[in-house]
């Protein structure tokens, strides 16, 4: 017995964060009643992204190519590397600042209780970049949660062993806050006022 396409659409929409039964119903009805062309475009874009988008082999951000546009750009400095927890943090920093360095995306944070160790965050790849790319400063932009601070400490140690300067985003990012939810002006100020970290 085949599933009803409308019910399937409702179930599919509920995989999105913050979308419950009523929100899914509202979205589905909007697409079917008022914007079928938009729905087709959404379906095609989603299908293409799920098929083609992968991780940049250098920084681990999202891209459809081997290297993302930031890693490919010859206008970005290799001397400053900003280490973030997620691709959402890259988007937030790019929107709020005029940062012209490069990134490394951890895709998480150290959390021994959850079984997330250095190998899960690609820190072997980060170590190779620090050894090979002439990085002079790491900006540590992990969130100010307990796990984010533990990750920042680990990164500072990695950099310190290599004689690389480290800095941390300054005031403005609330303790326990997450970068993707911080407003642009606050994030821009925190970024420009970053503080050196002591070994």
Q: Give the model confidence (pLDDT) of 48-107 as tens digits.
A: 999 999 999 999 999 999 999 999 999 999 999 999 999 999 999 999 888 999 999 999
Question: Could you read off the pLDDT of 133-179 as tens digits, one per residue?
Answer: 999 999 999 987 888 888 999 999 999 999 999 998 765 555 556 67
- C-alpha angle 147-151-156 in degrees, rounded to nearest 5: 150
Task: For residue 75, give every residue at least 6 positions away whose Cβ sits within 8 Å of its Cβ, in sequence order, or none.
Answer: 100
pLDDT of 42 > 90? The answer is: yes
Task: For residue 76, give every residue at least 6 positions away whose Cβ sits within 8 Å of its Cβ, in sequence order, or none.
Answer: 70, 100, 101, 102
165 membership: H or E segment, kind and range: strand 165-168
Look at residue 48 and give its three-state secondary structure: helix
Lowest mean pLDDT among 32-41, 117-126, 144-153, 166-175: 166-175
Look at residue 39 and give its three-state secondary structure: helix
Per the confidence metrics, is the pTM higher than 0.85? Answer: no
What are the structural domains, with CATH classification, of the chain? 5-52 (1.10.8.420), 76-196 (3.40.1360.10)
């Amino acid at each position: 017995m085949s599933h009803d396409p409308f019910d399937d659409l409702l179930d599919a929409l509920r995989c999105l964060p913050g979308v419950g039964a009523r929100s899914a119903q509202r979205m589905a009805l909007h697409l079917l009643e008022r914007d079928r062309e938009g729905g087709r475009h959404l379906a095609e874009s989603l299908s293409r992204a799920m098929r083609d988008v992968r991780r940049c082999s250098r920084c681990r951000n999202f891209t459809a190519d081997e290297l993302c546009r930031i890693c490919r750009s010859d206008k970005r400095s290799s001397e400053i590397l900003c280490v973030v927890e997620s691709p959402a943090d890259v988007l937030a920093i790019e929107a709020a600042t005029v940062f012209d360095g490069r990134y490394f995306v951890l895709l998480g944070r150290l959390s021994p209780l959850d079984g997330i160790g250095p190998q899960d965050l690609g820190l072997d790849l980060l170590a190779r970049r620090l050894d090979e790319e002439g990085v002079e400063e790491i900006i540590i932009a992990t969130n100010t949660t307990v796990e984010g601070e533990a990750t920042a400490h680990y990164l500072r140690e990695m950099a310190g062993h290599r004689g690389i300067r480290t800095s941390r985003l300054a005031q403005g990012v609330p303790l326990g806050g997450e970068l993707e939810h911080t407003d642009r002006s606050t994030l821009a100020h925190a970024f420009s006022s970053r503080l050196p970290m002591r070994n």
